[in-house]
Structure 1
Amino acid sequence: MEIRLLRYFIAVANEQNISAAADYLYISQPTLSRQLSDLEAELGTSLFIRGNRKITLTEEGTFLLAKAKEIVGLVDKTEANFNRPAEIVSGEIYIGGGETEAMHFIAKTLKDLREEHPAIQFHLYSGNADDVTDKLNSGLLDFGIIIEPTDKQKYDYMQLPAKDVWGVLMRKNSPLAHKSSIQPEDVKDKPLIISRQTTVDNELSGWFGQNITDLNIAGTYNLLYNAARMVEEGLGYALCIDKLINTSGNSQLCFKPLNPKLTAGLNIIWKKHQVFSNAANKFLDQIRYNIENYNS
């Protein structure tokens, strides 16, 4: 299967029209149609449902689209780190992470790195730990920022000098808003909005003393910003980490830490035996230096 054919396939899936995709690719419509037919023949399945004006993907086509984007993305990422002048330290670094105060430390590291090597570019991907490790495993990310614990059989890692504090995001007129901290019995019967990532479930189940899925779960979230909008509308209480949502001034929301206190350490991880680009190696050196010299 050629990378060129995957690019053609992605273009048609995005445009949902052969003519529009052919224009985008600067090739003729008959050539594109033939190439797509060859791809379907090679895979032994139909990838498209061809309508009069619109093309939609079959179930097999939807599966291929996700994989094709990963493959093409990995090829582009690899090529970008080779097509650079040899005398300049350059290249691209791909970093994934969730919403955490630790990103301030990552930002400082990138700033320090780019002051010395301004040709280096960085690309950030936002997602929870499950999303980040999926992309890390497939090679689309160089590094991931995740909550402890780390799978030490699968990843190398460094502990970041930051900890996240867990608590409850609620409306300021909530019956619990007067409390200085939140205990398990305060929210066991309340509608909860929780993170979807597996590691968080384990930590919070330990804090509650029971499986978190047995509680009154009103909804789940991937990243907190939109979940905060649900809290504003009174849909529930969001279990989350501190300092991600502005609760000052005219905000309708407030944050209360958990009691007993629950904190989460943070690691930067990468695949074992990873072969890094020059830019990624420089980043790793810089973050190691910044950790060693933190608060010194």
Structure 2
Amino acid sequence: MEIRQLQYFVEVAKQKSFTRAAQTLHVSQPSISKMIKALEEELGVALLDRAERKMELTDAGELVFDHAKKVLQLLDSLSSSIGEIRNVERGRVKMGMMPTVGSFLLPNVIALFKKHYPGIEIEMKEYSAKLLEIQVEQGSIDVGLTVLPADTDKFAAVPLQAEDLVAIVHREHWLADRQSVNLAELRDEAFILFTEEYAIHDVVKQACLRSGFEPQVAYMSSLWDFVGELVATQLGISLVPRSIVRRLNNSELRTVDISHPVIDWQYALIYRKDRYLSHAARAFIAFAKEHLGL
């Protein structure tokens, strides 16, 4: 059974005439007759009573007419829906983001995006950087807001804004009045690091190793504000993204730049290279790149 057969049959049933149906559909009358005859043969029933001067539907024809109209309406609806998706008028973006980072970068962008694409829903969840990559890889989320580097074999990455890591110390620490410090000068300090599931753990540790020492870890935490509180009680120092310092808002803390090496904290959106990416997700990535790109 072909869609065109149903289209021709419905039009004939509406017009009660092969001639008028042919004029409406802009096809020849013999083509319509051939299509409907083939449909009747396939179904094994007569659909049209051609004996009367005025063409009428048989009982089977009435049944097929009702169902055919529904099928054609569903196809029209499907076509319209696909068109809306293709034109990015509707859809859903499942997005993962690192805690705090998302609240720093995304609120204004999402607000603007919703104005441009009111029919697109954005579903957001928070993950640590390493767990976020797993969620993107498994297809649980479409796009992840993370920090580079990412596994380039698995993910495509769209670089966004970048910032540097800075040291935070207690206001009575020997570094408190310094504007900057060489990372190698911190070899004897007690470090408060983030736990291993967070990307910043590896970034800080690798930066210290490149500077010739392994950091002495006093405490580890998964909470930004708790890290700040530990530093404020003089239990150690920590390295955090500069934007986080403003959020800690603790008068006991001082910020010191890392003069060498500069530790970049590069934000990026990642998605699977080998998986279909919806039109809505593509639109969000392009929008975020426009507003947060380098």
TM-score (ref. length: structure 2) = 0.60
Map 1:1-296 to 2 at 5 A. 86=81, 89-98=89-98, 104-160=104-160, 162-195=161-194, 196-197=196-197, 200-209=200-209, 214-246=214-246, 251-260=251-260, 261-290=262-291
Aligned mates of 1:198, 1:288 — CA distance in 2: 24
Q: Relative to 1, partners in 2 of residues 1:284 and 1:129: Cα closer, same or farther, differing over 3 Å?
A: same
User: Identity of paired residues, percent?
Assistant: 17
Tell me which structure has the larger Cα radius of gyration. Answer: 2
Q: Relative to 1, partners in 2 of residues 1:287 and 1:153: Cα closer, same or farther, differing over 3 Å?
A: same
Shift of the alpha carbon at 1:275?
A: 2.0
Shift of the alpha carbon at 1:136?
A: 1.5
Count of residues in Structure 1 that have an aligned counterpart in Structure 2: 208
**Alignment partner of 1:182: what SS?**
strand
Match for residue 21 of structure 2? none
**Alignment partner of 1:276: what SS?**
coil
Q: Relative to 1, partners in 2 of residues 1:250 and 1:101: Cα closer, same or farther, differing over 3 Å?
A: closer
Shift of the alpha carbon at 1:130?
A: 0.7
Q: Relative to 1, partners in 2 of residues 1:134 and 1:213: Cα closer, same or farther, differing over 3 Å?
A: farther
Amino acid of the structure 2 residue aligned with 1:263:
D
Q: Relative to 1, partners in 2 of residues 1:131 and 1:250: Cα closer, same or farther, differing over 3 Å?
A: closer
Aligned mates of 2:226, 2:151 — CA distance in 1: 29
> Is the 1:99–1:244 Cα contact (8 Å) retained in structure 2?
no
**Alignment partner of 2:245: what SS?**
coil
Is there any run of 5+ residues in structure 1 with no aligned partner, and where?
1-84
Shift of the alpha carbon at 1:105?
A: 4.7
* CA distances 1:56-102 after superposition (whole Å, capped 9, x unpaired): xxxxxxxxxxxxxxxxxxxxxxxxxxxxx935833432322335768
Amino acid of the structure 2 residue aligned with 1:280:
A
Shift of the alpha carbon at 1:214?
A: 3.5
**Alignment partner of 2:112: what SS?**
helix
Aligned mates of 1:100, 1:247 — CA distance in 2: 9
Q: Relative to 1, partners in 2 of residues 1:152 and 1:177: Cα closer, same or farther, differing over 3 Å?
A: same
Shift of the alpha carbon at 1:133?
A: 0.8
Q: Relative to 1, partners in 2 of residues 1:183 and 1:99: Cα closer, same or farther, differing over 3 Å?
A: farther
Is there any run of 5+ residues in structure 2 with no aligned partner, and where?
1-79
> Is the 1:90–1:278 Cα contact (8 Å) retained in structure 2?
no
Aligned mates of 2:251, 2:272 — CA distance in 1: 41
Aligned mates of 1:115, 1:156 — CA distance in 2: 27
Shift of the alpha carbon at 1:271?
A: 0.8
> Is the 1:247–1:253 Cα contact (8 Å) retained in structure 2?
no
Shift of the alpha carbon at 1:150?
A: 2.3
* CA distances 1:206-258 after superposition (whole Å, capped 9, x unpaired): 53345999321012233422211222222221121112133797622122121
